[in-house]
Amino acid sequence: MSLPVIPAPAQTTAADGTYTLTATTGITVTTPELAGPATRFIQDVALDTGLELTGTAGITLAIEPVDEVDPVAGLRADGESVDERHGLEITGEGIRVWGPTPEAVHRGLTSLRQLISAHLQDGSAVLPATRIADGPRFAWRGLSFDVVRTFHGPDEVRRVIDMLALYKLNVLHLHLTDDQGWRVEVPSRPALTEVGARGALGDRPGGYYSQAELAELVQYAAERYVTVVPEIDMPGHTTAVFAAYPELAPTELRSIDFGDGNSVPLNALQPDRAETWAFVEDVLDAVIPQFPQSAYVHIGGDETWGMPDEDHAAFVERAAALVRARGKKVVGWQEIARGATGPDDVAQYWISIDVDAMDTGNAPRLPENVLPMLLEHFQKAKLDAPKALAAGTRLIASPTTWVYFDRPHGDPSSDPAQEEARKRLGLEFYGPATLRDGISWDPVENTPGVTSTDQLVGVEAAIWCETILSSEDLELMLLPRLPGAAEKAWSHHTPTDWPAYATRLAQQSPTWRHRTWTWHHSTEIPWQ
């Protein structure tokens, strides 16, 4: 039985009959700790569908164990051990949702939200009698969100959090710093926001999140069981840092010019300078308290072009030690494995490009001296995941091939305006990706060196904003790809059946339309 639910539930059992849900339906909670999930559900159903549930009965919530589904693998970004397994049963008499924790019940109510939206017609939803037992395959299920190259304000971040919550994703990894800007307040280093936050990529406007705005975003996410993880990218990707504090920069600033106004900086924070570490400590001391739910700090560590390998390793190891000394755990891009990592660290695998099979003739836009640098980096990258695993370091699966949403859309759109946008959105270097591509992989089978779920923390997609100019562009690249990433992170069913998934995906569009979310109208999907 295929229900219009993404991610696909672990177990579904059909029964005879239906239950008709209307505005007079309401919720009964069997314990006060479920009042929050109940209130959130009522608010979300109204936002998803316009249906306001005003009754007092029909849906019952309870705290009870669910043992039919395998326990989750991986680690959570909040460092907690929370059982998200849940049950959902619909009969002719009503609806019952249960789980061992309030978060588990919230996940069950999320499935119910999708069922209501898919079946709603003329103010009522006739729901098929069914029983669901479900729980996640992986504990870490997220999105890495680049707010540097194009700055996205708090309202748009909240919309993204709502998208994550609808598909049971529970991590928002905020990429807060890069060459093009600095987006988080460090009171002891005011120039980071006064100077470093002024711009974005090209001539795009800059910006940053005040401490008050970040506190609101972190709380908004927590109310939806999403943990916000901060990334401070270092030692490379620090052009904005050097603009704010030139004394931190190398004596000679170097870059490779693309000839079109863009360039690749070849500069990094230097590990042998005392002022470097005073800066890093100031940043960590200011940033960590702004993300109290996160057990992790992401230290970047990627693409340190022009930096000697030994300097990169030395920097990563010392930065990681400073994070640990502040009671947090370390996560970084896969290149951190070139230093010494351990069992408590997490490396984020992303370079899934097969450099040996690359057709370098597809990269004519790159300057002659850029392509060799990239190829050398990709060759080194082949050793990162195996080295991390050998050290007991677990991985987040974020392969460029399948879950980098800055790839151009491979599917045509039925909307002519979107077809025009499709010509400019996404990095041509990666090549286009279809929706079917996005669900045609497996985190264990397609991550180098991984043989079991125990070696993975989870799955995280990434949206980079080099080509994204607006909130509409952002959402056009996120949807309908995000549900596919959630399918890979949550569902125990592998491989994913494409025709069944396409049907389930088609039934998500009423919610997106009602939420005024923009999505790519792929001609491969029979949208409702």
Residues marked as catalytic = 303
Both tokens of 252, joined, read 């000679």
Kindly give, in sequence order, each residue whose CB lies less than 8 Å from that of residue 299, ignoring residues fewer than 6 positions away.
231, 232, 233, 234, 316, 319, 320, 323, 330, 331, 332, 336
Pair type for strands 329-333 and 346-349? parallel
Q: Exposure of 375 by Cβ count < 10 A (0-12 exposed, 13-18 middle, 19+ buried)?
A: middle
Q: Give the count of beta carbons closer than 10 Å to the beta carbon of residue 309.
A: 12
Please say whether the dihedral angle defined by the alpha carbons of residues 119, 120, 126 and 127, taken in this order, is positive or negative.
positive
Backbone angles phi, psi at 177, to 5 degrees: -140, 145
Q: Exposure of 27 by Cβ count < 10 A (0-12 exposed, 13-18 middle, 19+ buried)?
A: buried
Nearest C-alpha neighbor of 213 from the set 157, 281, 286, 295: 157
Residues forming beta bridges with residue 130, ordered by sequence position: 14, 90
SS3 state of residue 382: coil
Contacts for 247-250: CB closer than 8 Å, 24+ residues apart:
247/275, 248/273, 248/275, 248/276, 248/279
SS3 state of residue 366: coil
Which region, left, alpha or beta, applies to residue 514 given φ > 0 means left and ψ of -120 to 50 means alpha? alpha
What DSSP letter does each residue of 412-434 carry, written as one string? Answer: -BSSHHHHHHHTTSS-GGG--B-
Please say whether the dihedral angle defined by the alpha carbons of residues 97, 103, 109 and 110, taken in this order, is positive or negative.
negative
Question: Looking up tokens 């707010």, which residue turns up?
Answer: 147
Kindly give, in sequence order, each residue whose CB lies less than 8 Å from that of residue 514, ignoring residues fewer than 6 positions away.
47, 48, 49, 50, 117
Question: Looking up tokens 């509409």, which residue turns up?
Answer: 472
